[in-house]
Structure 1
């Protein structure tokens, strides 16, 4: 079982967990990952690129064999994903603005994260920091439906950008 009830719903290191990204109104995305750690606030999992085939974003190419070490928080509005090529070379960090993560006990443990459409990319060398999908966020209508959540999402993207330009997430994920 991936969830240890004695630890208040923490995920057990070494266990398999399903990560479910809630992308409403689009279909959710789910993929398997291995739990690296869970201290009750930050959850770390490792997973292969879940896209199946290569995907070129223009600023980075994700491909089969890439490994994502993903950091989720129960008290922060984002996730930070370190991306490495199959040979271990660091490609950079892909960050999602999300609602705080939660763990359900379905299927032995599911890590559920609601994606809020805003993203950030930081290249391995730190020369490239890109705010992504701000147009999708605006089109989502979150500002009208839930102004508080929209403000938290925008603040989270600002914080991610500051962190990306300062230390590349070392203090946050180390």
Structure 2
């Protein structure tokens, strides 16, 4: 029996996107799901394109301040990993609720490109003033993800 979750990503107190995902694993801390690209059309970031047919294997933690999404094309070719800095996931009532804290990290499939994203949005969000502890956790999470991505074992060691 496959468990289906509704993933809800919020930002600034409002729902950014919601979509269904099939559970692959749950070890009590990390829950892993698979979902198709849920947004409308193509999103071209310049360094990667997300498009209909792409498949995301998403890892959410109940105790960590990030989510890691492995992105593959419809034919299974690995594009890379998109990492969202978030508050720890809240899992309940058939849903996984994740609050986006603006900071992101992109890691290419070959591990050679590691990009910190949206640091300007994070600075403009006002989180450092409104919730300094959460802001500090977010920065630490981004730093830890980048360090892991640049290590010899890359993000695969984190997800293994």
Q: TM-score range by the shorter chain?
A: over 0.9
Q: Residue 26 of structure 1: CA displacement?
A: 4.9
The answer on 1:87 being equivalent to 2:72 is no
TM-score (norm 1): 0.89
8 Å contact kept, 2:8–2:15:
no
Question: Secondary structure at the residue paired with 2:154?
Answer: coil
How far apart in 1 are the matches of 2:116 and 2:14? 21
Distance 2:120 2:14 in 1: 16
Matched, 1:170 2:156: yes
Structure 2 length as normaliser, TM-score? 0.96
- Deviation readout 1:10-64 (Å, 9 max, x if unpaired): xxx7211100011114543111100111111000000001112111100000010
Using the TM superposition, give the Cα deviation of residue 172 of structure 1 relative to its aligned residue in structure 2, in angstroms: 1.2
> What RMSD, in angstroms, separates the aligned Cα atoms of the two structures?
1.1
Give 1:139's match in structure 2, choosing from 120, 124, 139: 124
Question: Runs of 5+ in structure 1 lacking a partner?
Answer: 1-12
Distance across 1 between alignment mates of 2:39 and 2:90? 23
> Are 2:9 and 2:15, in contact at CA under 8 Å, matched by a contact in 1?
no
Q: Is the 8 A contact 1:18 1:30 kept in 2?
A: yes
The answer to whether the 8 Å contact 2:37/2:53 transfers is yes
